[in-house]
Amino acid sequence: MENAVMQAPAAPAAPRQKLPLPPGLLSKPDCPAARALAKTGNFYVFLKDMGREFGDVVSLSPELFLLVPSAMIKEALRNTKDYRKANSIEIFKILAGEGLFTAEGELYDRQERVVKSAFGKKYFAEFRRIIEEDVASYMDEAFARARAKGETVCVSDMSVDLTMSIAARAFFGIGGETELARAFRKGLVFIQDWFAQLQSADFAAPMLRSIEDRYIRLPVLRSWQRALLRSVTGAGEVAKAVAAWKAYAADNDLKAHETAAQMRGICARIIELRRKDPGSLDKNDVLSSLLRFQNDPGNTWLTDEAVIDEVATFFVAGHETTSDLFMTLIWKHARGETPRTVVEEIENAVDMIGEEQFLFQKYPVTNDYLTQVLLDHPPIPFTVRQTNRELELGGYFIPKDAKVLLSPYVTRDIDVNFGSGRRQCIGRVFALEEAVIGLRHLVRHRLELENPGQSLEMTQGLSIGYSRSRIPVLARPVG
C-alpha cells in the first residue's frame, strides 16, 4: 500500500434542511399569478403562470409544490420509493375501494398481473368490433339525424355517452344504454363534482394561509390584519372560494357516501347478471376474465369485493380520458384542423377490426396527431404525488409528506395522460384504439361549430375534463 495515492475525503453533502425552499408563494406571496387566480379562479392558468415566473420547482405553500420539467415529472411518476399517491385520493376509496386506481405496493402488483391478462392482444378484435359498432351508432347516426333536421349535436354529451357505452360493453358485457350504465354515470357526475371541490379546498386553503402568514406580523392583531389583507388584495376572493368549496363538500358528504355505496351496488348487480349468463366465462370482456381468474387457487385474494373495486375503477377510467380526447378531436375537426395527411391515411385503411398490429402502430401519422392533441389539450392537466422522505429537487428542499403537482398542462412537452413507467394506465392501448376508430368515422363528416370562436373550457374533477364544460360545445353537420 506504499504507492497508494492518498485522496482527500469527499466533502459531506449539505444537510437537506439547509437547502433553500423553492421560490414561489413562499418568497413572493402577492405575485401577479396569485392576484390573477383570485380574480379568475382559473387554477390551470395560475399553475402555468407560476412555472413561467419562478422556474422548475415552485412553492405554492409550505406543503404544496409544482414540478415543471418533463424529467422531474417522469421521475415522480416512476419512482415509487420516494413518491406515493397523495393522501387526498384516499377519500375516493368510497367508490373505487382498493382497485387499481388507489392501490399501492403488493396489492397493486397482484391486480396488475390479473387485469393485464384481461387486456391481452387476443381480445382486441372483439374490442374493436364493439368500438366500431358504438361509434357508428353514436357518431354517424347522431350526425345523420342532425343533418336531416338542420340541428346541432352536443359534442360533450356525445363523447361521454359514446365512451361510457364502449366501456360498459367491452369491460362488463352490458349495453351502454342500460339502466345500470346510466345510473352509474349519473352518480359519477355528482361524486366527481364533490371530490373536485374537496380537492380544490385541500390545495387552496394552505396556499391562502401561507400568503396571509407572510403579511401578518402582530399575532395579537391577527384577525384585524387578516381582514385588512383580504380587503385590499386578492386573498379575499380566494378565501370566499375556499369557504364555498369546504361548505359544499361538508354539506354533501353524507350524500356522496350514499351515492358511492349505490354505485358499488350497481357494480355488484353487474357481476350478478354476468354470473347468471351461462356463456359468460367464454366471453372476452374484462369482467368475464376477472371471474375466470377467481377460479384460480392462487387468486384467493380476488374476492367479490375486489372485483367490485375493479368494476368501479374501470367504469370511471374507461371513459374519462377518452371522452375528453373525443371531445377535442371533434372540436378540432369542426374548426377544420384535422390534418389532411391523417384523413388520407385513415381513408386508405381497409380492415381495422381484424388488424394484427395495434392500430396506433399501424397508422403512424394518425398516432402522431393523437399524441400532439394530447400534448396540446391534456385531458388530465395535473396529477398529485406525495413525498415519502425529504428530497432535494433542482437544488431546493422538499419536505417529507409534501404534495407535488405534476402538470403536463404546464409542461406541454410530455404525454403522461396515461401515466408513465410501470404504473402506466393498463387501458392505454384500448383508449388509443378507440381514438383511431373514432377518427375513421369522424373524418367522413363535415362539421362546423355553432359558435365558431368557441374554445375548450377545462373543468376540475377527479379526472379533469373538457367534456364537463359549463358551456356546451355544439357542432352542426354540413354538406
Write the CATH number for 386.
Answer: 3.30.43.20
Position 2 scores a pLDDT of: 35
Domain assignment of residue 47, given as a range: 13-85+381-416
Position 5 scores a pLDDT of: 35
Residues 68 and 92 placed together within one structural domain of the fold = no
- pLDDT tens-digit series, residues 286-330: 888 888 888 888 888 889 999 999 888 888 877 777 888 899 999
Residues 321 and 396 placed together within one structural domain of the fold = no
Domain end (from 416, 434, 461): 416
Residues 155 and 254 placed together within one structural domain of the fold = yes
Position 442 scores a pLDDT of: 95
Position 257 scores a pLDDT of: 95
Residue the block writes with cell 361510457: 164
d(CA 463, CA 479): 36
Position 8 scores a pLDDT of: 37
- pLDDT reading at 124 higher than 70: yes
Position 380 scores a pLDDT of: 73
Residue 263 lies in a domain: yes
- pLDDT reading at 228 higher than 80: no
Residues 228 and 294 placed together within one structural domain of the fold = yes
Residue 8 lies in a domain: no
| Total of domains in the chain | 2
Comparing 98 with 13, the larger pLDDT belongs to 98
Task: State the average pLDDT for the chain.
Answer: 82
Comparing 217 with 49, the larger pLDDT belongs to 49
- pLDDT reading at 240 higher than 50: yes
Residues 251 and 329 placed together within one structural domain of the fold = yes
Residue 245 lies in a domain: yes
Residue 5 lies in a domain: no
Residues 36 and 74 placed together within one structural domain of the fold = yes
pLDDT band at residue 7 under the 50/70/90 scheme: very low
Cα angle at 404 between 401 and 409, to 5 degrees? 165
CA atoms within 13 A on the CB side of 434: 28
- pLDDT reading at 397 higher than 60: yes
- Name, of 5-14, 142-151, 193-202, the range with top average pLDDT: 142-151
- pLDDT tens-digit series, residues 77-108: 888 899 988 887 788 899 989 888 888 788 88
Assessment of whether the complete model's pTM goes beyond 0.85 = no
- pLDDT reading at 14 higher than 50: no
pLDDT band at residue 185 under the 50/70/90 scheme: confident
Domain end (from 395, 416, 437): 416
Question: Average pLDDT of 214-222?
Answer: 64
Residue 122 lies in a domain: yes
Position 458 scores a pLDDT of: 67
Domain end (from 398, 416, 434): 416
Residue 3 lies in a domain: no
Lowest mean pLDDT among 36-50, 75-89, 112-126, 357-371: 36-50
Residues 368 and 398 placed together within one structural domain of the fold = no
Residues 205 and 295 placed together within one structural domain of the fold = yes
Residues 278 and 402 placed together within one structural domain of the fold = no
Position 135 scores a pLDDT of: 93
Position 417 scores a pLDDT of: 65
- pLDDT reading at 243 higher than 90: no
Residue 7 lies in a domain: no
Residues 134 and 26 placed together within one structural domain of the fold = no
d(CA 330, CA 154): 11
Residue 6 lies in a domain: no
Comparing 438 with 74, the larger pLDDT belongs to 438
Position 420 scores a pLDDT of: 61
Position 245 scores a pLDDT of: 80
Write the CATH number for 372.
Answer: 1.10.630.10
- pLDDT tens-digit series, residues 428-471: 888 899 999 999 999 999 999 999 988 887 665 434 466 666 78
Residues 18 and 138 placed together within one structural domain of the fold = no
Comparing 392 with 115, the larger pLDDT belongs to 392
Residues 200 and 161 placed together within one structural domain of the fold = yes
Contact 129, 353 (CB under 8 A): yes
